[in-house]
Structure 1
Amino acid sequence: MHFTSETRLDQGPIEREFTLGDIPGILWTPPTASTAGPVPLILLGQPGGLGLRRMHPRLEVRARSAAAQGFASVALELPGAGDRHPLPGAEQARADLVRAISVGERPDDDIIDRLILPIVERAVPEWQAALDAVLGLPEIGDRVAISGGVIAVAVRLAATDRRIAAAGLFAGSYVPRSTMDEARRITIPLHGLLQWDDEGNDRQMALDLFDAFASTEKTLYANMGGHTGVPSFASEDAARFFARHLDSTGD
C-alpha cells in the first residue's frame, strides 16, 4: 500500500489517496484517529463502471458522515472501472442487460452472471488485500463494516471474510444465482435500502435476496421513488445502524 497524496478536508477527515499494486484507492480518517485511539472502519462500496474520480464527490460526502461519527472509511477502484482495463465481455453483457430492460424483459441468468460475476471474482480478493493493508495501520481498529456498492460484491465479501461485522446494502441490483446461496451463509447484522420504483433493477429479486439472508438482525427500508430518489433521511437511518455495530462504547 503506497500513499500518493494527503489532504486535510476543511475541519474534517484527512483524505489520503493510495495505490495497492496498480489499484487506486482513497482512505479517509477522522481527526480523532490515533495510535492511542484506533477507530472503526467502513468499506465504501460504489456502483460498477463509474470509477473513483466520477464518484469522488458522493464518496466524500459519505466519508465525511462516517468521520463525524468517529469512523475511518476506504474506497477502492472496482475492476474494469476508471483507468483500469475493461473486463472481457463486460461491454456486451451490459448491452444485453440494457436491451432486455428496454423491451420490458427480465434479464436472464446468463446475462447477469456474465456481467456481475467477473466483477465479484476480482473485486473480493482485492478488497481483502486492501483490508489487510488498512488494518495494518496503527490508527485503524479492527471493527469493520461495509456500506453500499455492487451488492453481489458485498454479499461475497461478508460471506467469506469474518472481519466484516455489519453490512449496509443498497438493495435492488440484479444478482447472480450464486449470490442467493452466499446470502444464506450470512448471519451478521444487515441494513438494506430499497427504492421501490427503481427503474433499472428488480424489486422482487431484491426481496428474495433479503429473505435469503440468514441474519437474525436484518432490516429493509423501502422508500417510494426511483434509483436516484433516495430520501435524505435514509443516510440518518444508516448512520444509526453503523453506530450501533461499530461504536465500542455501545458494547
Structure 2
Amino acid sequence: MHFTSEQRLDGGILEREFTLGEIPGTLWTPGSAGSSGAAPAPLILMAHNNGLPKGQSRLVARARHTAANGYAVATIDAAGCGDRPRSAADEQARADLRRAMRAGEPVDEIFESLVGPLVEKAVPDWQTTLDALLSLPEIGGSVGYSGWTALGIRLAVVEPRIAAAGFFAGGYVPHAQREEARQVTIPLLFLLQWDDEGNPRQRALDLFDAFGSKQKTLHANLGGHTGTPWFETEDGGRFHDRHLK
C-alpha cells in the first residue's frame, strides 16, 4: 500500500489517498489513531452503488462523519468502478441501460449483465484492500461494511472478518446475490427508500426477508433513491457501535 497524498480535516481526521497495485482508494482515520497509547481503530469498508467513484460526495460525507466517531473508513475504486478501465461488455451494458431507461423498457436483464460482473470483479479487490488495511498499526479489531447491497451480500458471505453490515436497498441486486442473502448471518441494518424509482419496493422487502441474520433491522423512509435522510448516517453509527466497539 502506497500513500500518495494526505490532509488533515476538522477534528484531526487524517484523509489519505492510496494505491494498492492497480487499486486506488481513500482512507480516513480519526485524530487519535496511531497516537501513543491509543487503541487501534475499528474499520468500516464503505462502497458506493453500481461502480460509482470513491470520491462521490455523499460517500465522502458519510466517511468523514464516521471517522469523526472513532472509526477508520476506507473506500476504493474496484475493477470497473470510478475511473478504472471498463470492458467493452460493461460499456455496452451501460449504453443499453441508458437507452432502455429513456424508452421506458424493462431493464432487469441489462442490470444483470452489468451488476453481476461488477460484483464478481470487485470482491477480490476489496479483500486485497482489507488485507493491507489490517496490517496497518492504527487499524485493528472488528470490521464493518456500509453501502452497496449487491457487493455487501457477497462480501458478508465470503469474508469472515466482516462482523456487521449496513446495506442501502437502492440499486439492482443480481439473482446470485439474492440467493446468497440466505447465507448472510451477521447483524444487519437495511435502509429502504419507499419511493425509490429504480428499486421496486416489494423486491427490497423480499430481499430483507431472505437474509439469514437473526439480528436484522429495516429502516424505511419516504422519498426517492438519493433521499436517504442524514439521520440514518447517525443511526448507522449507533448500529456499528453496538457491534464493532
Once the two structures are superposed, the pairs formed by residues 198-237 of structure 1 within 5 Å of their partners are 198-237=196-235
Q: CA RMSD in A?
A: 1.7
**Pair 1:122–1:145, CA change in 2 (3 A):** same
Residue 74 (str. 1) matches residue 81 (str. 2): no
| 8 Å CA contact 2:11, 2:68 repeated in 1 | no
Q: Calculate the TM-score normalised by the size of structure 1.
A: 0.90
Q: For 1:184, what is the secondary structure of its paired residue? A: helix
User: Any residues of structure 2 matched to 1:3-152 within 5 Å, and which?
Assistant: 3-34=3-34, 36=37, 37-53=39-55, 55=56, 57-108=57-108, 110-149=109-148, 151-152=149-150
Q: 5+ residue gaps in structure 1?
A: none
CA contact (8 A) 1:69 1:243 kept: no
Q: How far, CA to CA, are the matches of 1:237 and 1:61 in structure 2?
A: 15
Query: What amino acid is the match of 2:42?
Result: P
Q: CA 1:163–1:132 in structure 2 vs 1: closer, same or farther (change >3 Å)?
A: same
| Length, aligned pairs only | 243
| Cα deviation 1:32-81 (Å, max 9, x = unaligned) | 2137410100001112343234x1x3333212221222111001013223
Maintained 8 Å contact 1:192/1:220: yes
Distance in 1 of aligned mates of 2:147 and 2:96: 25
Q: Deviations over 1:169-195 (max 9, x none)?
A: 000321111111111111000001110
Calculate the TM-score normalised by the size of structure 2: 0.92
Identity of aligned residues (%): 58
